[in-house]
Amino acid sequence: MTDHQRLLQLTETLKIHARKYYVEDAPEISDYEYDMMQKELRELEEKYPQWAQPDSPTRRVGGAPLEQFDPVTHRFAMESLQDVFSLDEVRDFDARIKERSPNAKYTCELKIDGLSVALTYEHGQFLRGATRGDGRVGEDVTENLRTVYDIPLAVQEQRPLVVRGEVYMSAQAFERVNREQEDAGAPLFANPRNAAAGSLRQLDSRICASRGLSCFSFNVQNARELGFASHYESLQYLKKQGFAIIDPLLYSGDIDEIAEFIRSVGEKRGELPFGIDGMVIKVDDLALRDELGSTAKAPRWAIAYKFPPEEKQARLLDIVVQVGRTGVLTPNAVFEPVHLAGTTVSRASLHNRDFIAQKDVRIGDTIVVRKAGDIIPEVVSVVREKRPPDAVPYEMPSVCPVCGAPVYEDPDEAAIRCTGAECPAQLARRVTHFASRDAMDIEGLGPAVAEALLDAKLIATPGDLYFLQPEQIAPLEKMGDKSAQNLVAAIDRSRSQPLSRLLYALGIRHVGQKAARVIAVRFPSIEDILRASEEELTAVRDIGGITAHSLKEWLGSPQGGHLLGRLREAGVNMTEPVTQTGTRLEGKTFVLTGTLSKYTRSEASRLIEEAGGKVSGSVSKKTSYVLAGEDAGSKLKKAQELGIPIITEQQLEEML
């Protein structure tokens, strides 16, 4: 056998076995045998590229990455369907159709939870594949769709053919992909549909190929041109052409039989190897479809029955409290694993103390679980009659489960927060805030660098930043010697920031930029603030009781004291420059808007307040002046309407 003959033989043999494996789910050879044949074919194609077939199985592994997806105008509009949510609405649809055509028949098909695509063939070859987009214009994802084994690269039909399909990810492929994501430290996909969407829109088709997407084809877009009179007939034609069509499907004109089919599929949908979110009922007669036409939004000849969210019962094994980056304690239900909407779930958020109290959720209860929008697991209710006699009401912890600091229960909201200044759960956010421009202004220390320092265990508190050495930082990803030296230099410069910036950088609840400034002006050293009572603090203009209490509580906590000690040890400045507080702007209220050229807004606000003025966030009749920069918006317009003076930065300087 010549090399040419062997290449052609391997191409056809692999196409047959690929169909049996991916489409018919009936493999006849082992994965190893298939891989060895594909390896041999690839070697022959590299040696004789002129002989490689356009529908070769080697085209399924992806090619060179694209720079972008080109737009594609659909020859046939890809319409969406009208959703219905009850069998009564399905019967109403049938009545409307039967009023026009008493003997009308329907196809009833599974509604796959995936992404719609249009597949175009010419002269028997797969020419182009595009996403639905807005129904009229989509994106060219041909190279990615070539990697999907359910989509034939060649068909017997030589006339132009346009097929509509639904790309999806099976439950098995979804679990594999998420395992790989977890192993790589990458974010997990929320559900199979999201995973399929993310895979199909990869510019590198090799990534798409690795995800194992599938596709059901469910419509011949140009069926009338090809001489079809029946949709069911066109589906059988697609099957003969090598497309995977949706199974099971029902062909019937009996609405009772259709209703029973919908009920039976709904009861078993959790057992399917792919996700569905409903059933599609379509008029089968294509001529009748033409008569019925479409509304501006959807065809009149089809509807999509949407299943209610699938619900399962499970025993609640535990309630685990997690601490978020903002310090909020969130209770999570841990329950016996159940299969819902295509994935196995065993956890769901219980949100907050009010949610638990409202539903009276107790450890040991049997709970009803579903996926909101078929995506996020949620606890719907408690099955009270199955409650164990020893189940007791759940109480949220009084201390942080991560760091042991007391928790703060805000009477105005359901959230409970950790008060720990050095809580590990909040550390990445705290370090990023500490280094931010309006706080200690450490250039180059953003969220990614903060995460890298924490992951490498180089810091455990913001105070540890000041003890870092360049040689410790340089080995981190995307750093190097120069970047490490620049970061250490930026950290060193921040030691001299005034007390007002440090107070804000500490991230104390209720102590924002403005409060930090006025406190530091009145008490210009950290020792002054430590000595001040809550009453003395509240005597400061714009400082209320809540802010004063929060500040004193933080300063008196073990973690707050430790962090201040670490900062003192590092030589961080803890005083505010004593400035002569002016009275030139006393009694005047300013509003800042737009982009200032000479100052940042916080710098301009500080100058105004140091001169006795007040800065407000909104324009009113009490506003004295509006300081307007470039691209000023609605505040400037309102000031003009109220006749409030508009000033520039130069005019502000003159006032000062």
Between residues 386 and 34, the one the model is more confident about: 386
Contact partners, residue 127, CB within 8 Å, separation at least 6: 120, 121, 142
Angle between helices 601-610 and 513-522 (to 10 degrees): 30
Q: Quickly state the pLDDT bin for 63 (edges 50, 70, 90).
A: low
Residue 167: pLDDT above 80? yes
Residue 22: pLDDT above 60? no
Identity of the highest mean pLDDT range in 186-200, 403-417, 523-537: 523-537
Among candidate residues 39, 47, 105, 111, the one labeled active-site is: 111
Residue 618's CATH number: 3.40.50.10190
Contact partners, residue 609, CB within 8 Å, separation at least 6: 514, 517, 518, 521, 615
Let me know whether 536 and 448 are in one domain: yes
Q: Is the peptide bond before 248 cis (omega within 30 degrees of 0)?
A: yes
Residue 374: pLDDT above 60? no
Q: Quickly state the pLDDT bin for 60 (edges 50, 70, 90).
A: low
Query: Is residue 129 a part of any domain in this protein?
Result: yes
Residues 352, 414 contacting (CB under 8 angstroms): yes
Let me know whether 99 and 16 are in one domain: no
Statement: the pTM of the whole predicted model exceeds 0.75 = no
Residue 24: pLDDT above 90? no
Could you list the residue range(s) of the whole structural domain that residue 394 is in? Answer: 314-417
Among candidate residues 531, 550, 578, the one where a domain is terminated: 578
Residue 7: pLDDT above 80? yes
- For 493-521, write each residue's pLDDT tens digit: 999 999 999 999 998 888 988 889 889 98
Range with the lowest mean pLDDT among 87-96, 193-202, 337-346, 369-378?
A: 369-378
For 21, 623, 624, 627, the CA distances from 639, given in Å and listed in that order, are: 71, 9, 10, 10
DSSP result, 273-305? SS-EEEEEEEE-BHHHHHHH-B-SSSBTTEEEE
Report the pLDDT value the prediction gives residue 608, as an integer from 0 to 100: 86
Let me know whether 445 and 463 are in one domain: yes
- For 127-154, write each residue's pLDDT tens digit: 999 999 888 899 999 999 999 989 999 9
Let me know whether 484 and 609 are in one domain: no
Residues 428, 450 contacting (CB under 8 angstroms): yes
Report the pLDDT value the prediction gives residue 197, as an integer from 0 to 100: 87
Question: Exposure of 7 by Cβ count < 10 A (0-12 exposed, 13-18 middle, 19+ buried)?
Answer: buried
Among candidate residues 417, 436, 463, the one where a domain is terminated: 417
Query: Is residue 331 a part of any domain in this protein?
Result: yes
Query: Is residue 583 a part of any domain in this protein?
Result: no
Report the pLDDT value the prediction gives residue 633, as an integer from 0 to 100: 81
Average pLDDT (644-653) is 88
Residues 490, 444 contacting (CB under 8 angstroms): yes
What b/e string do you get for 275-314 counting C-beta neighbours within 10 Å, with b at 16 or more? bbbbbbbbbbbbebbeebeeeeeebbbbbbbebebbebeb
What tokens appear for 323 in the block?
């601490």
Evaluate the CA torsion angle 333, 334, 340, 342 in order and state its sign: positive
HEC per residue, 159-173 = CCEEEEEEEECCHHH
Let me know whether 504 and 645 are in one domain: no
Give the Cα separation of 284 and 101 in Å (integer): 12
Report the pLDDT value the prediction gives residue 618, as an integer from 0 to 100: 85
Let me know whether 458 and 446 are in one domain: yes
Contact partners, residue 656, CB within 8 Å, separation at least 6: 582, 584, 585, 607, 611
SS3 138: strand
Residue 21: pLDDT above 80? no
Residue 561's CATH number: 1.10.150.20
Let me know whether 253 and 113 are in one domain: yes
Between residues 652 and 161, the one the model is more confident about: 161
Let me know whether 147 and 230 are in one domain: yes
Average pLDDT (378-390) is 92
Report the pLDDT value the prediction gives residue 61, as an integer from 0 to 100: 59
Average pLDDT (196-205) is 87
Query: Is residue 66 a part of any domain in this protein?
Result: no
Range with the lowest mean pLDDT among 136-140, 425-429, 455-459?
A: 425-429
Average pLDDT (11-17) is 85
Residue 523: pLDDT above 70? yes
Query: Is residue 67 a part of any domain in this protein?
Result: no
Per the prediction, the chain carries an average pLDDT of 88
Let me know whether 206 and 285 are in one domain: yes
- Percent of all residues in the chain with a pLDDT value above 90, rounded to a whole number: 45
Let me know whether 342 and 397 are in one domain: yes
Residue 264's CATH number: 3.30.470.30
Query: Is residue 584 a part of any domain in this protein?
Result: no
Residue 296: pLDDT above 80? no
Query: Is residue 495 a part of any domain in this protein?
Result: yes
- For 581-612, write each residue's pLDDT tens digit: 566 788 889 999 888 887 777 778 878 887 88
Average pLDDT (387-394) is 93
Q: Quickly state the pLDDT bin for 459 (edges 50, 70, 90).
A: very high
Residue 40's CATH number: 1.10.287.610
SS3 106: strand
Between residues 335 and 57, the one the model is more confident about: 335
Query: Is residue 68 a part of any domain in this protein?
Result: no
Contact partners, residue 401, CB within 8 Å, separation at least 6: 321, 323, 329
Residue 388's CATH number: 2.40.50.140
Residue 428: pLDDT above 90? no
Report the pLDDT value the prediction gives residue 309, as an integer from 0 to 100: 77
Identity of the highest mean pLDDT range in 315-329, 341-355, 458-472: 458-472
Dihedral, CA of residue 470, residue 473, residue 477 and residue 480, to nearest 10:
0
Among candidate residues 360, 392, 417, the one where a domain is terminated: 417
Catalytic, 359? Answer no
Let me know whether 567 and 602 are in one domain: no
Report the pLDDT value the prediction gives residue 42, as an integer from 0 to 100: 82
Report the pLDDT value the prediction gives residue 66, as an integer from 0 to 100: 59
Provide the domain count of the chain.
5
Let me know whether 319 and 183 are in one domain: no
Element (H, E) at 609: helix 601-610
Range with the lowest mean pLDDT among 131-135, 162-166, 408-412, 553-557?
A: 408-412
